[in-house]
Structure 1
């Protein structure tokens, strides 16, 4: 997650409760999950702690050199991610013609990126069976802060945890597709670059979208879900940020998905407009929200190894990572399969 606070751009957080009418409609449409019980459960079971751990020990290894934007180590991590999707039979978007969307150095430089080299977003795609033009985005950044004074900052939680969660969610959706129960809406698995330097990869994607933003239903963004913070030590929880900023339905859907999966404690502390951390503005979902796309940001908090070389894979709580990943999958499953697109009814 980006460490430096982003400017607020004169925007205020508009936090309010969804209307009763919207809540009832969202709950009623959650029957789309119930009807797909067998397919859902089979796919859900594909999300496993041991597989998350296996992938994270690669993504957050010293071999990747801390995955700084455009670095050889980041490109090596990107190759691992792409090969994972190829092995699963998940293609890149046809409109892009590649798993890679180049993010030019010049684009980043103009936005304060200094002398960063060219880098790439990575995109994998499962086309929807009934509403392929409507896109559900599941995102995470795969860059970190690199190597400093010969010490590798592995970024296992930030955001290796989100990276492997997106990969595992993709595997779950592909399992459903193979069983003839693929998502009705299309799913874009988006691994963005340059987050640590200024949310550059997500800004580039939303400025140059492969799929029209008007057709983008939601962005479920995962940035740090493998640890706990001091305030919640030992709890089964996750912070959810922004889920009711633009849509009165999204928070309701996510809460229903939570009850259907692991019933974690959903902490909305960072939805508070007065919170000094201003986390709504500090990860890649924000570039979608700026473009009126509903978002939910899943996060574990600021822990003692945040942006330190000690953010290593052996410190990840893999059972909790599994549960949080299952929550995001369950939320995405509902949104992808419900009869009507979720509403955008807030500003």
Structure 2
């Protein structure tokens, strides 16, 4: 009798454990709830602040960029998303001396990267990075270059992705691996912020699984006008699994057209080398760079928030989230199989 009771008890406990297990698949409630929280209206609300005239084009180390940083940090504080405990604040100072040594004759004031962080529940030492640069080119001859697409769109995309992961965590479905939401400075002048982070990482680069970098995802270019698409660059340069994961995430969600036109280190535009993911790739970390193309307002004062396609921006941000979700929750970390 005791043996039977013990077996029944064991079976009941096992059943409870099974019921309590979180379904992290794309069909599960945990994913669907978080995925659907990335909304075009929220992206628009934040982008109209980030790309407002009073941000003065967010040039590296400028007062306008610091105002943008304050807004981003307060966003995370209001969500109770903290910074890495290894830091005393959300800011990683990027010293002027560091940037001046790398610059093309320009001089800079100190600036900072912004780091928000959600700790993993099972493999917290393994880190997924979701990155975007929050600087732009500033003001020229009294005209503000708002940089709504470049890279206000990526900036607010990272913020919404963080909110989605945070929503899942509050509902008991937090990521198994840790996720670092990294807003870098100085991209427009030479990828300074991401270079500084990769030279002075808060977490060991050996534990960094992948970087998903978002740089311009709010517009379309002439070649793809009116289409639901996104350029993806570098996703199989270092790991075949990363490309497969991204394509699966896309197929099971918004089914965007994934365009690989620029997915070649030898492409004349050299886009693989031109955004912040490259400083991770140089260190052997798999990367995927999400991009909308070079449109008519690129690096012009007409890159304004009213020209953003917010529905498409949300779909692209959701794709990055879905890819990060799988990277954070799959059983094994992806393998680096190329050099």
Q: If the length of structure 2 is used for normalisation, what is the TM-score? A: 0.92
Which ranges in structure 2 are unaligned for 5 or more consecutive residues? 1-21
Q: Residue 52 of structure 2 aligns with which residue? A: 61
Change (3 A) 1:300 1:336: same
Larger Rg: 2
Look up the match of 2:33: 42
Measure the CA separation in 2 of the matches of 1:345 and 1:102: 33
State the match for 1:180 in structure 2: 172
| Cα deviation code 1:219-274 (max 9, x no counterpart) | 00000000000110111000000000000100000000001110000000101344
Deviations 1:162-220 (A, max 9, x none): 00000000000000000010000000000000000000000000000000000000000
Superposed CA RMSD = 1.1
What does 1:1-347 align with in structure 2 at a 5 Å threshold? Answer: 33-34=24-25, 37-112=28-103, 114-347=106-339
What is the CA-CA distance between 1:35 and the residue it aligns to?
7.2
Q: Is the 8 A contact 1:32 1:334 kept in 2?
A: no
Give deviations 1:9-47, integer Å, cap 9, x for gaps. Answer: xxxxxxxxxxxxxxxxxxxxxx97427711111111110
Do 2:134 and 2:183's aligned partners in 1 also have CA atoms closer than 8 Å?
yes
Question: Secondary structure of the equivalent of 1:166?
Answer: helix
1:35/1:140 CA distance change after superposition, 3 Å: closer
C-alpha separation in 2, matches of 1:162 and 1:295: 15
1:32–1:338 contact (8 Å) kept in structure 2: no
* Alpha-carbon distance in structure 2 between the residues aligned to 1:95 and 1:183: 19
SS at match of 1:270: coil
SS in 2 for 1:110: helix
TM-score normalised according to structure 1 size: 0.90
Give 1:97 shift.
1.8
